[in-house]
Chains A and B, each alone.
Chain A
Amino acid sequence: MFRYLIRRILWAIFLFLVITFVTFVIFFMAPNNPARAMCGGDQAGPVCLKTATEKLGLDKPLPVQYGLFLKRLVWEHSLGTSYATSQSINETIKQAAPVTASLVFGGAVCWMIIGLSVGIFSALRPRSLIDRAAMVFVLIGVSAHPVWIGLIFSYVFGVRLHITPIANYANFFGAPPDSGLPGGPVQWAYHMILPWMTFAILFAALYVRMIRANVMETLNEDYVRTARAKGAPEQRILFSHVLRNALLPVVTMLGMDIGVALGGAIFTEYVYQLPGLGRTSVIAIQAEDLATLEGVVVFATIAILFFNLIVDLLYAWIDPRIRLS
């Protein structure tokens, strides 16, 4: 186990270096000059340009710049400052990450509830009315665009029926005083319910399909027949023989998909104007603020690598065959 752990951690560090380097090179190749953005775009004076270039270290060769970037990241835990607003990027991400986290984890809870209940039920009653309805849901869920689902939801539930708010985020721990913004857990959930549903539909569809297939396959295994033959009650067969085996791959999928979902959150955040990481990066693109965009990409990479590492270790702990191979 220990050797496996070391190997996975070394691989994660290597991946981190590769990804940050590629990110860095791509931003280095970008057509817009950060020094110009810092000096106010087109009206940039030559003196300001020169000092800004030196301050950002843009006159140094690429590997040196990458080294400095890495040094700042590892020793000072700093992602730098925004080109457009001169705000600390760490601060920006600290504000945006909880929004994305509540969207992704809340969404994951939603899609797991839908996926497990619908998936298991339709596997137990194949070709029933509910199973057919579930399959139609799966088809539409994987085919409809999340952005479009979001727009339709907010139009129907927000604009037409006035049931839910259609935009903005409410802080879970209460809004900052004097801001006039809604806050607290109830407002938080109330503002997040549509984004969660929108975000969950695609994954719920994928999980219903996967869980249904897994459970149906496990139901045909020999050990299920053996358990039935020796007279085990149906409930016990379902919980200790079928679900325990059928849901093991779902655990791995969930860990990997939460990483993927971090990226997919962009659309939902953009539609509902949630100030999360995705919306921050889209706004950064519009402002040509590449430093912030780079900060978000690096942060997301670290988060995904961390998740994948945890899932790998959890899975190796659950299933000994993995760490031995």
Chain B
Amino acid sequence: MSQTEQDQVVVSGAAGLGAAVATESGSELGDPAAVQARGYWELVWRRFRRDKVAIASAIFIVFLISVAFAGAPIAKHYSGHGPNDIFAASPEIVKLPSLLPAGPWTHFQNPNTGKENVMVLGAANRLGQDEFLRLLYGARVSLEVAILSTIGVMILGVILGASAGYFRGTTDTVISRLTEITMAFPLLLFVIALAATVGPRLNAITLGFFPQGVVTLVLIFSIFGWFYPARIMRAQVLSIREKEYVEAARMIGASDARIIRSHVIPHLIAPMIVYSTLIVASYVLFEAGLSFLGVGIPLTVPSWGNLLSSAPEYYTTRPLLMLWPGLAVLMTTLAFNLLGDGLRDAFDPRSGGR
């Protein structure tokens, strides 16, 4: 968001609200009937709406989700073959004797149906699987891992962090120590070791819907990722519980459950939304990294990390194979990062941002 836009937002959000509203609604200044009271969410939305970059990112994310869940099957239908179909025997797709996969826009005879099909971005590997379809289906794996891990991490982190901050005392000590222990683990090495030892057992769990390996990664990420949101939430709750309105609620005899429900949680929603958006991006990167090392999603399942890990084999001959999955990851993380920045500015215009 540029500075001028931000200044406008700050002005309309604070002192000049009445004036801005009056100008916009076209009525005369000082007409009390034209001044409306605006709720918190409406103000946030009005600030967010002016952030073009954040809006574009949000639209891109919606587009990405629809591509992953609706677009991929449609593309599969129109191309006449699936993302896991193997065309190693077709000479147009896997060139003999070098076993070089075909380049972009290759027409070939599908041996299963006898019709002529096309591979938009060429073949992904020496099995002759379609790179374009695997990219689309990979989006689904990446988004599922990232979004579900974020949900898991946030649930654990918010519950543990908020109760540490609210109840203090022994609860706080135990949870804070647990946080310190988790933080001292060599996280990446440990996750890799865990995925390699426990992973093969858990990979079979698909709950009837998820591709293989998604549930494993979500579990591992949630167990080792909760400490960061927990620290943030603890700090937030520690400051909220000292506020006058909490004191007032306690004075009139409100129970802990009621105070948490109506005085603490509403203040946690903004940091939760902002933080979740930002960590979705980091889990997209994490999944791709683990799959690249061969300990994430099983190689048979299309995922961006798997596409990236098979690309260096054709390093000098098909360098574009390296580009596509990397670009997909970059666009996705960039969109989530920009959306997160935009949301933070919308929720808290004083946060500055840029």
Residues of A within 8 A of B198 (CB): 26, 29-30
> For the complex, what is the distance from the CA of A148 to the CA of B184, rounded to whole Å?
28
Q: Is the CB of A152 within 8 A of B186?
A: no
A297 in the interface, Cβ–Cβ < 8 Å? Answer: yes
What are the 8 closest A-B residue pairs judged by CB atoms, nearest first?
A263-B188, A148-B326, A30-B197, A143-B333, A300-B186, A143-B334, A285-B196, A15-B184
> For the complex, what is the distance from the CA of A141 to the CA of B19, rounded to whole Å?
41
Q: Is the CB of A26 within 8 A of B193?
A: yes
B354 in the interface, Cβ–Cβ < 8 Å? Answer: yes
Q: Is the CB of B187 within 8 A of A263?
A: yes
Please report which residues of chain B, range 315-331, place their CB below 8 angstroms from some CB of chain A when the two chains form the complex: 315-316, 319, 322-323, 325-326, 329-330
Q: Is the CB of B293 within 8 A of A31?
A: no
> For the complex, what is the distance from the CA of A102 to the CA of B285, rounded to whole Å?
25
Q: Interface segment, A179-187, A228-236, A301-309, A313-321?
A: A301-309
A27 in the interface, Cβ–Cβ < 8 Å? Answer: yes
A123 in the interface, Cβ–Cβ < 8 Å? Answer: no
A193 in the interface, Cβ–Cβ < 8 Å? Answer: no
Binary interface encoding of chain B residues 294-331 relative to chain A, with 1 for a CB under 8 A from any of its CBs, else 0: 11000000000000100110011001001101100110
Q: Choose among A23, A159, A271 the residue with the greatest number of B CB atoms under 10 Å from its CB.
A: A23
> For the complex, what is the distance from the CA of A20 to the CA of B322, rounded to whole Å?
38
Chain B residue nearest to A154 in the complex (CB):
B315
A286 in the interface, Cβ–Cβ < 8 Å? Answer: yes
Q: Is the CB of A145 within 8 A of B289?
A: yes
Binary interface encoding of chain A residues 246-264 relative to chain B, with 1 for a CB under 8 A from any of its CBs, else 0: 0000000000000110111
> For the complex, what is the distance from the CA of A262 to the CA of B323, rounded to whole Å?
27
Q: Is the interface of A mostly helix, strand, loop or mixed?
A: helix
Could you list some 30 contacts between A and B, CB below 8 A?
Answer: A11-B180, A19-B185, A27-B197, A29-B198, A142-B333, A142-B337, A144-B326, A145-B285, A145-B333, A147-B288, A148-B325, A148-B326, A148-B330, A151-B312, A151-B322, A259-B186, A262-B189, A264-B188, A266-B293, A270-B293, A271-B312, A281-B189, A282-B293, A282-B295, A290-B197, A297-B193, A301-B185, A301-B186, A305-B184, A308-B184
A210 in the interface, Cβ–Cβ < 8 Å? Answer: no
A18 in the interface, Cβ–Cβ < 8 Å? Answer: yes
Q: Is the CB of B193 within 8 A of A146?
A: no
> For the complex, what is the distance from the CA of A258 to the CA of B41, rounded to whole Å?
41
> For the complex, what is the distance from the CA of A294 to the CA of B192, rounded to whole Å?
11
> For the complex, what is the distance from the CA of A140 to the CA of B329, rounded to whole Å?
11
B190 in the interface, Cβ–Cβ < 8 Å? Answer: yes
Known: A263-B187, A281-B193, A285-B295. A155 touches B285 (CB 8 A): no
How many A-B contacts are there with CB distance less than 8 Å? 129
Residues of B within 8 A of A144 (CB): 326, 329-330, 333
> For the complex, what is the distance from the CA of A286 to the CA of B185, rounded to whole Å?
22
A positions within 8 Å CB-CB of B? 11, 15, 18-19, 22-23, 26-27, 29-31, 127, 135, 139-140, 142-148, 151-152, 155, 159, 259-260, 262-264, 266-267, 270-271, 278, 281-282, 285-286, 290, 293-294, 296-297, 300-301, 304-305, 308
Residues of B within 8 A of A304 (CB): 184, 186
Q: Is the CB of A266 within 8 A of B333?
A: no
Known: A30-B197, A281-B193. A148 touches B322 (CB 8 A): yes
Q: Is the CB of A266 within 8 A of B326?
A: no
> What's the minimum C-beta distance from B187 to chain A, rounded to whole angstroms?
6
Q: Is the CB of A145 within 8 A of B189?
A: no
Q: Is the CB of B281 within 8 A of A143?
A: yes
Residues of B within 8 A of A296 (CB): 189
> For the complex, what is the distance from the CA of A296 to the CA of B333, rounded to whole Å?
31
B338 in the interface, Cβ–Cβ < 8 Å? Answer: yes
Known: A23-B190, A139-B337, A151-B312. A267 touches B326 (CB 8 A): no
